[in-house]
Amino acid sequence: MKMSKKQSLKSGFEVQIELSAALVAIEGDSPRIMLLRDQAPAAKGAVGAGLPSGPFDAVNDRTLEEGLRRWVAQQSGIPLGYVEQLYTFGDRFRDPLERRGGPRPVSVGYLALVRQSDLRARDAEVWSDWYRHFPWEDWRTGPPATLDSVLAPALKAWVDSSGERSDRIRRKDRADTTFGWNGATWDNERVLERYELLYEAGLVAEAAADGRFTPDERTQLIFAITGAAMMKDHRRILATVMGRLRGKIKYRPVIFELMPPTFTLFQLQQAIEALAGTLLHKQNFRRLVAHEGLVEPTGQVQTLTGGRPAELFQFRRDVIRERPAPGVRLPVRRGAGRSQL
């Protein structure tokens, strides 16, 4: 049975519609995504593991989302709850099979949220901490050391490599604004922009997998530092997911789609910090949560080993009807200064 619709272009190329989902869960202080072990690289030059994905069946799938839910259920055994379409990715040669004459994939990326109680893995799956793939995005212990020691000099070399002054200025401005250098502010939502800049500069493994250049030994060492690669456009999809979630938790109560039915305020703060990649001010956070009316006490407590009992709360769903944007504002702790490029 043919499972995908391929459309021939006038040039003779073929396009295949692929549906891909980043399943996000929180385990303690670790934001996790599901990767498939059997998504082995299908062509020479392909890199990394893959997200749950599959071709769109234009005959049997009534909608794109219906097709996505079917693929995820087959591959992970997890029936999806909250699902949100993100973006369509279709850059040429991001899939090495295309360079060998295969179809050009157009991937429709989705965000799916999974509760801790559903976080499980079969033999074909693994839940990976998303900071394995984006180590420069985790600021919970301050600015990552690799920003100054590796990325700043590597991007400076890329800036200086341009033969045109106007292009060097453009490159430097782009690096400053996306990474928060030279007086610019670090914006934790600009995950995709930072990844795309590193891709363009040839500093992530996927930049070599598309056949643009052959990495030397120094570049291979940089690849080892800039995070675990993923196949095709899947790290781009994950970058989009991270930026979308970091923005959305500020104005929509999506964080509660990731929480168990009851939780402590510490667990809620820990989950938000994991997604945002930064630490929150404990007292201000608790005041904000109480003031915004996002949670309500259950009358129960959780007894922690070696600690005081902690009160259990639950999401107060009436807040959705009461306010148009019931999100969690982030009272971020003040961090260290930024580096110079």
* CATH number for the domain whose boundaries are 259-322: 1.10.10.10
Residues 180/278, Cβ–Cβ less than 8 Å: no
pLDDT of residue 312: 94
For the chain, percent of residues with pLDDT exceeding 70: 83
Q: Could you tell me the pTM of the whole model?
A: 0.87
Provide the token pair at 109.
């990326």
Instruction: Quickly name the fold that domain 6-133+231-247 has.
Output: Nucleoside Triphosphate Pyrophosphohydrolase (3.90.79)
pLDDT of residue 184: 93
Over the chain (341 residues), the average pLDDT of each successive run of 10 is 41 77 93 78 61 88 91 84 88 73 84 77 77 96 92 96 95 96 94 97 90 86 93 92 94 91 94 95 88 89 75 88 68 54 54
Number of helical H runs and strand E runs in the chain: 12, 9
Residues 26/130, Cβ–Cβ less than 8 Å: no
**String of DSSP letters for 263-331:** B-HHHHHHHHHHHHTS-B-HHHHHHHHHHHT-EEEEEEEE--TTS--EEEEEE-TTHHHH-S-------
Beta-carbon count within 10 A of 85 CB = 14
Q: Where are the domains of the chain?
A: 6-133+231-247, 135-225, 259-322
pLDDT of residue 241: 96
